[in-house]
Amino acid sequence: MTDQPRLPEMAESESELEFESTLRPNRLDDFIGQEKVRKQLDLLLRAAEIQNRTPDHILLAGPPGLGKTTLAMIVAEETGQALRLTSGPALQNAADLAAVLSSMVPGEVLFIDEIHRMARTAEEMLYLAMEDFRIDIMVGKGAGAQSVPLELSPFTVVGATTRSGLLPAPLRDRFGFTAHLEFYQDEELERVLTRTATLLELVSEPGSLAEIASRSRGTPRIANRLLRRVRDYALVHGTDISHEAVAAALQLYDVDERGLDRLDRAVLDTLIRRFRGGPVGVRTLAVTVGEEPDTVEAVVEPFLVRIGMMARTQQGRIATPEAYEHLSIPLPPL
């Protein structure tokens, strides 16, 4: 899916996807961090098990790389049900969704990634399916077209979105539970990296994984990616995952001490130099740096806001004094 908000710096390749899937925890207990969401999900799944019914529909919301797909797979694993994968962009009309729904087995977990990008007609069919486990299929064309009801076996929808604000309220309301994934603490990312290092049989100097964690923008996917680049460096230079390897590899890939990459810095630099620190709309910023607005909105902005270098105002985005300081640009006189 090329137009999905992409993490900057390194595009996803086939091997990247493989790498990610080998690192996905399969059980809720192995999922690191997100304490609250884990407890909420655990309760929901256990209650359903006791009552011997399919769990409520679950919406997973949050920025890319925080574990939405991983959690969807865990839901299937924990309930012992089959997982069916589809995505918003693949559901371009009601017929696409009808084809998926009519072929589901009872109890199945239907994972709809990027659910905010579904076609409107498919969305309307999904409301009905989620609520009543029933859809109306149109048979025939033109004046002779007829709507035929089709009963479905109960199933659980797990939707994932990086932009829950774009979901129409009626669709949002059909989910019994919405999990809001938060950025991870450095200490949690260090645990993610320790787990990855063990799986990849890497030897690391004390503190070096913490160093990578602190530059990973609160995101497990980025932490794992950076570790992979450091691993490359260590491999080529015949070292362990040392502090020196971390520093050298991250410098090579333009990741600075605070975890900002080239795109983050370009956005801040544009905001400060071209727009005099703002306020400016996030889309204008994106177009000016030549990046997809979705990427800037879903990936860059949340990170910069979180680390206090960008602020959102009614009029648009502004650069904070921390941003000037980080880029070594003098603050304008008041």
Ligand X SMILES: Nc1ncnc2c1ncn2[C@@H]1O[C@H](COP(=O)(O)OP(=O)(O)OP(=O)(O)O)[C@@H](O)[C@H]1O
Residue numbers annotated as active site: 68-69, 113, 162, 221
Query: Among 75, 150, 147, which residue's Cα sits nearest to residue 112?
Result: 75
Residue 8 binds ligand X, judged by CB under 6 A: no
Which amino acid, residue 203? V
- The DSSP call for residue 115 is G
Residue 302 binds ligand X, judged by CB under 6 A: no
174 carries a ligand binding annotation: yes
Q: Residue 192 binds which one of Mg ion, ligand X, none, with CB within 5 to 8 A depending on kind? A: ligand X
Q: Residue 220 binds which one of ligand X, Mg ion, none, with CB within 5 to 8 A depending on kind? A: ligand X
Residue 320 binds ligand X, judged by CB under 6 A: no
> Among 84, 116, 217, 221, which residue interacts with ligand X (rule: CB under 6 A)?
221
Phi, psi of 83, deg, nearest 5: -115, 130
Residue 64 binds ligand X, judged by CB under 6 A: yes
Query: Among 32, 10, 81, 12, which residue's Cα sits nearest to residue 199?
Result: 32
33 carries a ligand binding annotation: no
Q: Which residue's beta carbon is nearest to the bound Mg ion?
A: 69
Binding mask of the shown chain, residues 68 to 107, with x at each position contacting ligand X by CB under 6 A: xxx-------------------------------------
| Least Å from the CB of residue 1 to ligand X | 9
Rounded Cα distance between 197 and 208, Å, is 11
Contact region with Mg ion (CB under 5 A), list: 16-24, 39-47, 68-76, 275-283 = 68-76
Yes or no: say if 135 and 129 are a contact pair by the CB < 8 Å rule.
Answer: yes
Q: Which residues ranging from 175 to 194 are in contact with ligand X (CB under 6 A)? A: 192
Residue 162 binds Mg ion, judged by CB under 5 A: no
Contact region with ligand X (CB under 6 A), list: 21-29, 163-171, 226-234, 283-291 = 21-29
- The DSSP call for residue 208 is H
Q: Residue 302 binds which one of ligand X, Mg ion, none, with CB within 5 to 8 A depending on kind? A: none
| Least Å from the CB of residue 326 to ligand X | 26
> Among 4, 34, 54, 69, which residue interacts with Mg ion (rule: CB under 5 A)?
69
Yes or no: say if 156 and 55 are a contact pair by the CB < 8 Å rule.
Answer: yes
Q: Which residues lie below 8 Å from residue 64, measured CB to CB, with a gap of 6+? A: 5, 6, 7, 162, 219, 221, 298, 299
Nearer to ligand X, 31 or 175 (CB): 31
User: Residue 117, CB half-sphere, CA atoms under 13 Å: how many?
Assistant: 17
Phi, psi of 311, deg, nearest 5: -130, 150
Residue 86 binds Mg ion, judged by CB under 5 A: no
257 carries a ligand binding annotation: no
Strand ranges for the chain from DSSP E: 58-61, 83-87, 109-113, 134-139, 146-151, 156-161, 177-180, 310-313, 316-319
Cis peptide before 279 (omega within 30 of 0): yes
Yes or no: say if 202 and 241 are a contact pair by the CB < 8 Å rule.
Answer: yes
Contact region with ligand X (CB under 6 A), list: 99-107, 219-227, 267-275, 281-289 = 219-227
Q: Which residues are annotated as a binding site for Mg(2+)?
A: 69
Positions in the binding site for ligand X (CB under 6 A): 20, 23-25, 31-34, 64-70, 160, 162, 192, 220-221, 224
